[in-house]
Chain A
Amino acid sequence: MTNRLTRSTALATLLALSGGALSAQELSVLIDNNAATQAAFDALIAAYTEQNPDVSFDIELRPGGGEGDNIVKTRLATGEMADIFSYNSGSLFQALRPDRTLVAIGDLPNVAALNESFLQTVMDGEGNVYGVPYEAAMGGGILYHVPTYEELGLEVPTTWEEFMANNAVIAEQTDKAPVIQTYRDTWTSQLFVLADYFNVQAANPDFAEQYTANQAHYADTPAAQAGFQRLQEVYEAGYLNEDFGAASFDDGLRMVATGEGVHYPMLTFSLGSIQQNNPDLIDDVGFFAQPGDSADSNGLTIWLPAAVYIPQSSDNIDAAKDFLNFVASPEGCAAIVAANGATGPMLVPNCDLPEDVPTAVSDMLPYFEREGGTAPALEFLSPVKGPALEQLTVEVGSGIRDAASAAELYDQDVAKQARQLGLEGW
């Protein structure tokens, strides 16, 4: 407090001396340390300060995943949050108690025009909107190495059986890893389960509702348990890269870009990181939805983007709102696309993707254009998500536990979370 007082006194003196540019302001920004997020904010800030030279920004990075969660929640609860911060939309966003901690921004001119299904994921029970997106919508599916597919004459699979047949060909004819797994970053192990949700809802349209109400579970719903089974199958077939237990997310992206591995189950936001790390190889990476049991119901599980929010504790709410309005504008969106390339459909209107999008993105767009070609991931439909899923999927993917037992333990984990949240029916 004293510190802040001294600082503002010093600032006031400085302003008085410099002839009183009274609007000079510094906004603090807390974002996750993903390379693409950093690039997006660098570009947004550069574009914004060009129009508003008297506003400056102080960027602070935080880790992603559970550790980042802790930082965000603790700083919100103690009133120490930066003026602007990035965080997930959907059920994780709901856990921040937006009505008590965040500033509603529905009155900003550019917010109302945002994509409707995105707005649903940053809205409280009363319909107040709190966030604007700074990334594209993503798909969860399989990134694959296109040159290897071409060399071996493989076709993009639309059923799990075809996928496993492709893996068999790759294992037989090359020394590349058919499937990449990267368990140093445990969250990456969940993709086979989470990206299977399109197939789950295709088989059980009411799953999300029943799951939230404690009526359907992973262990007693075969379609839901299938995700765990698929992970077990690729492990048992010996299709994983040799160092799967120690490889990191960045290793995984490098492997699929260079062709050391051929399939990497992943979210498409990672294309931004490939763009940063291996820009010349970006067009070697293709993408397809995680195939299910039937080619008739082949579609993509999608993740709505994370967003930026303003905490009620901020001292610079008006300046922060102006920046968020810029993030939601076509110019802001264009700055993001220019920095990270097009990683998927942007949810800001009049923000067109460039002609030459990366292969993986053009592979993804048809799912969005087709009626019923996409379904939101379960975490956008239900607040119920157990924290131990990533450890359980590491166990299944490392052959420590079988799929049925992991599904059962995950149901217990989910029950714990629902009780802690105080949900009805648990």
Chain B
Amino acid sequence: MQRRSPYPYWFLLPAGTIFAVFFLVPTVASFYFSLTYWDPFEARFAGFENYQQFFSEPFLARGVMNTLIFAVLTSGLKTVLGLLLAVLLTSGLLGQSLLRSVVFFPVLVSTIGVGLLFQELMHPTEGAINVALEAVGIDGPGWLTNPSLALVSVALVDVWRGVGLATLIYIAGLATISPDYYEAARIDGATRWQQFWRVTVPLVRPATTTVIILSLIGGLRLFDLIWAMTRGGPGFASDVLASVIYKQYQAGFWGLSTAGNVILFLLIALLIVPLALHLNRREADL
């Protein structure tokens, strides 16, 4: 016999109402509006026209590719650098707490502010970066104006901005590893390198899973930094799904951009759900 919950179901009502009004209804409505030609004043039913249009968008393929490149690049760098920084910052270095704050600080700054600041720093002729490079005799590239470099430049800034959070998660992860393992490893004659590979890396796996999934989702849906720095340009060179969607909205094609959002939602779900299952299973196997 199932035990009745001591609380009546209507206790769920306040939270349930908020969830329904702000999350459930808009989600369902967005599926409907993605099937319409929708402008500020009316919505005409269009069937699957918007999806067809979105997939035939000449710059979409590029946007999808860029989204994946950006997400994998930033997620990979944040994971590797985050772990290295966390190891460094838990090794009892002088001024360790100060350094931890310094690494975390960019996380607290507004993304738009970071974007505009780096837009100035990366100016091809007057920006601080190229002026500094010129002083040592290097002809700096157009970080944001060279179409093959723009996306990578934005990705590097995103790593600078986000690595503090990854480091923080890793520091918490490292704190859970019992010193006994290191002691045992040292008695067995393991070098520092071996301790890192054989003890630290396997045992911070839960933190690694969290960092990878968070940064991958963040990378897939990143919009503000790209918009502040390049607006998807030059041309379409650094367009990602989110900026392609935004531009449709900006042009007044609301139904079309809603269709794009539904596609983005499905893409993130398709990538993240299997990945999360996979990473969590590996964790359970350990």
Contact = CB atoms under 8 A, between A and B. Distances in A.
B235 A391 contact: yes
A422 B231 CA distance: 28
Contact of B41 (A67, A97, A243, A246): A97
Interface string B11-37: 000000000000000000000000001
Interface residues of B, number: 35
Contacts of B145: 183, 243-246, 398
Interface stretch (B78-86, B217-225, B249-257): B249-257
A73 interface: yes
Contacts of A183: 145, 233-234
B144 A412 contact: no
Nearest to A243: B125
A392 interface: yes
Contacts of A243: 123-126, 145
Interface residues of A, number: 35
A398 B235 contact: yes
Interface string A73-89: 11011000000000000
A246 B58 contact: no
A167 B220 CA distance: 45
Contacts of B37: 419-420, 422
A61 interface: no
Contact of A420 (B146, B247, B256): B256
A239 to B, nearest CB: 17
Given A391-B232, A394-B233, A422-B37, A409 B58 contact: yes
A416 B251 CA distance: 11
Contact of B235 (A387, A394, A417): A394
A69 B253 CA distance: 12
Contacts of B232: 391
B235 A392 contact: yes
A420 B252 contact: yes
Interface of B: 37, 39-41, 44, 49, 53, 57-59, 123-127, 142, 144-147, 231-237, 247, 249-253, 255-256
Interface of A: 66-67, 69-70, 73-74, 76-77, 95, 97, 100-101, 183, 186, 242-246, 387-388, 391-392, 394-395, 398, 400-401, 409, 412, 416-417, 419-420, 422
16 contacts: A95-B252, A97-B40, A100-B41, A183-B145, A243-B126, A243-B145, A245-B124, A245-B146, A391-B235, A394-B235, A395-B236, A401-B235, A412-B58, A416-B57, A420-B253, A420-B256
Given A67-B250, A417-B251, A422-B37, 8 more contacts: A95-B39, A95-B252, A183-B145, A391-B236, A394-B234, A398-B147, A400-B237, A417-B253
